[in-house]
Amino acid sequence: MTDPVTTEESHVTPQKPAGGVKATSERPKAKPAFDFEPKIRIENLSLYYGQTRALFDVDMSMPAGEITALIGPSGCGKSTLLRTLNRMNDIIPAVRVTGTVAIDDVDIYSKAVHVDLLRKRVGMVFQKPNPFPKSIFENVAFGLRIHGESNRNSIEETVEKSLQRAALWDEVKDRLRENAMSLSGGQQQRLCIARALAVGPEILLMDEPTSALDPRSTARIEDLLDELRSDYTIVIVTHNMQQASRVSDWTGFMYEGYLVEFGQTEKIFIAPEKKQTEDYITGRFG
Amino acid sequence: MSGHIFRELEKLKKKVLILGTRVEETLHDAVRSLENRDLELAQRVIDLDIEIDFMEVDIEEECLKVLALYQPVAADLRLIVAVLKINNDLERVGDIAVNIAERATFLGSRSPVTVEFDFRRMSEETENMLKLSLDALVNADVSMARQVCIADDIVDNINRKMYIQVQDAIRKHPEDLDAFIHILSISRHLERIADLATNIAEDVIYMAHGEIVRHRVEDYVHGAHPRQDKPA
């Protein structure tokens, strides 16, 4: 896949915001300084949809093998930020990115990075379960075939392992050839997670992965996140603050394109530093 | 989140303030009953303690209800946690006021004894600490809470002196041993109430700043740097 939008020049050279958007000096930025080796390092990241600036000089680091939650009101830029981590925004016309997003210290917006390989390393699960209208088996095998795997035994083994990791194997092992659309919503979402896991990602991005699910299915996904925690670096966008507090190790609060505060989840939910964070998570606005 | 939680929290704040006022009055009455040898007032303090007990249970139930129904976080969570603890401390102050009233009943029913006990100052300092800690709670005022923590040393010192003064008095008048022991107990009761007022002040600091200063309150009082962007 080619990168139709972002050039190396555009992301390394910070650009002034277009007229009418807020200057970066208007708000204090969250400046995290944490004692961990970041898997993902974001520096001075801004994103523009044409003339509209959606992210303002975001600085944050996400540790390996832990779960980072992004919270904030609708339109605050959390999904936009999430999509910068595997360059999903590239497919939107007129998107321009400045600043740095580095995974294992390699800038993913540099010309040397192949986007398809990047997305193999950085899997994504969306709000609405989106299985292909194919069999359960084929849904999970699809990514493997795309990335060139043709050995049937190897594919079968990986499909089983991925379904097991996604806590779905026991429910589908006798019906792998059935259409994935016959699964319940919660099962479909776990199938999508299995599909993402099959290609061996290091990072999983989840954009409100349980917002379309009932409480029981949500609990299963949350349990699954807990099981995956140590093997993957997970970034989850959620509107459900209880979910953020239950599942994540780190939380970033975003507002109007700014990262207002980033810190350990227990700190954010017990004694946040910023009043704006406190007002949001206690429901006083947003 | 709906506005219901804010209404519940306001209701809770009102209840704890009513309890606080009631406990302040009870302590004041207990001290007066001792000073004035007023046995009737002392008995009233003892009889009415049950009302404080019921208020404490009611507030605890309200806290549990808000925790269960609204899952509060951040400032709201800290408020509930602080109220749960302050509620308990206030009930204990009520119990100790009853203890003072019981001592007042004993001492008031026999001839007065003399001991160089600065009871007036100690009781005033203690009552002021309790009042200030409750004012700090009402206003979420950390500087008031710090003043309470500082004042605790004054009451501690009076209590320490009292121990020596009672020893001397017992040597001089061993026939009044029982009365002196009661007086010593009153000093310890007041010192304990001052400690509880300090606990309340520490909980106010936690509520306002999210910082647990218990066991290191000295450092906090003398070198604190409260967060700048939080409302006091």
Q: What is the tens place of the pLDDT at every residue in B157-190?
A: 999 999 999 999 999 999 999 999 999 999 999 9
Whether chain B has a CB inside 8 Å of the CB on A246: the answer is no
Among chain B residues, the shortest Cα distance to A283 is held by B1
Q: Which residues in chain A have their CB less than 8 angstroms from residue B73's CB?
A: 241, 245, 269-270, 281-282
φ, ψ of residue A106 in degrees (nearest 5) = -110, 125
Q: Which residues in chain A have their CB less than 8 angstroms from residue B230's CB?
A: 275, 278
Q: Which of B73, B79, B205, B228 to mutate to test the interface with A (most CBs of A within 10 A)?
A: B73
Query: Which is more confident, A233 or B115?
Result: A233
In this structure, are residues A84 and A55 in contact, taking their beta carbons and an 8 Å threshold?
yes
C-alpha to C-alpha distance for A100 and A44, rounded to whole angstroms: 7
Beta-strand (E) ranges in chain A? 38-49, 52-63, 67-71, 95-103, 106-107, 122-125, 203-207, 233-237, 250-255, 258-264
How far, in Å, are A99, A195, B47 from residue A88 at the CA level?
A: 16, 17, 72
C-alpha to C-alpha distance for A167 and B144, rounded to whole angstroms: 54
**CATH code 1.20.58.220 for B2-221:** yes
Across the interface, of B74, B209, B231, the residue whose CB is closest to A281 is B74
Across the interface, of A269, A274, A283, the residue whose CB is closest to B229 is A274
The distance of Cα A168 from the centroid of its chain, to the nearest Å, equals 21
Whether ipTM > 0.90 holds is no
Across the interface, of A241, A245, A271, the residue whose CB is closest to B210 is A271
Across the interface, of B5, B71, B229, the residue whose CB is closest to A242 is B71
Mean pLDDT of the B184-200 span:
97
C-alpha to C-alpha distance for A136 and A31, rounded to whole angstroms: 44
Among chain B residues, the shortest Cα distance to A267 is held by B74
Q: Which residues in chain A have their CB less than 8 angstroms from residue B71's CB?
A: 242
- Hey, are the CB atoms on B229 and A271 less than 8 Å from each other? no
Whether chain B has a CB inside 8 Å of the CB on A263: the answer is no
* Residue type for position A232: Y
pLDDT at B231 over 50: no
Task: Look up the pTM and report it.
Answer: 0.81
- ∠ CA A196-A198-A201, rounded to 5°: 65
Mean pLDDT of the B122-139 span:
96
Query: Which is more confident, B3 or A285?
Result: A285
Which pLDDT score is estimated for A284? 85
Closest CA to B221 of B135, B146, B156: B146
Band of pLDDT at residue A5, cut at 50, 70 and 90: very low
pLDDT at A33 over 80: no
Q: Which residues in chain A have their CB less than 8 angstroms from residue B76's CB?
A: 282
* Residue type for position A210: T
Please report, for chain B, the start and end positions of each structural domain, with discontinuous segments joined by +.
Answer: 2-221
φ, ψ of residue A235 in degrees (nearest 5) = -120, 125
- Hey, are the CB atoms on B73 and A245 less than 8 Å from each other? yes
